[in-house]
């Protein structure tokens, strides 16, 4: 499951998804709003709808917060986390 940042969409993963081997089953969907819990709930509902009991969660920037929320709230559905948080400059 690919989880995008707040101001992005699932389309930000198009190049990545095209480059992955066909044997990998990768899903991404657009999140609603800016609430971490809402998107985490939506993600679990999406997993249920497509019959996906567990997944590796890949979070880009704020999508990483959502991935962590799902892993904490529902650890049995999380195989692994891959997080890419934004680099925040700390000074000049």
Q: What are the boundaries of each domain within the chain?
A: 2-84
Tell me the C-alpha distance between 82 and 2, whole Å.
9
Sheet hosting strand 55-60, strand order edge to edge:
2-3, 55-60, 78-84
pLDDT at 3: 92
CA distance 80 to 86: 20
What pLDDT shows up at residue 86?
A: 60
Q: What are phi and psi of 91, to 5 degrees?
A: 165, 180
pLDDT, residue 85, reads 65
- As a CATH number, domain 2-84 is 3.40.50.1820
| Residues written for the chain | 92
Tens of each residue's pLDDT in the chain, 92 residues: 999 988 889 999 999 999 999 999 999 988 887 888 999 999 999 999 999 999 999 998 889 999 999 999 999 999 999 998 665 555 55
Residues facing 56 on adjacent strands? 80
Q: Which pTM value belongs to this model?
A: 0.83
pLDDT score of 92: 58
């Amino acid at each position: 499951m690919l989880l995008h940042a707040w101001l992005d969409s699932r389309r930000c993963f198009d190049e990545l998804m095209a480059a992955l081997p066909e044997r990998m089953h990768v899903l991404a969907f657009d999140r609603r709003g800016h609430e971490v819990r809402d998107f985490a709930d939506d993600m679990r509902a999406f997993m249920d709808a497509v019959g996906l009991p567990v997944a590796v969660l890949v979070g880009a920037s704020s999508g990483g917060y959502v991935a962590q929320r799902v892993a904490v709230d529902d650890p049995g559905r999380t195989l692994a986390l891959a997080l890419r948080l934004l680099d925040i400059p700390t000074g000049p």
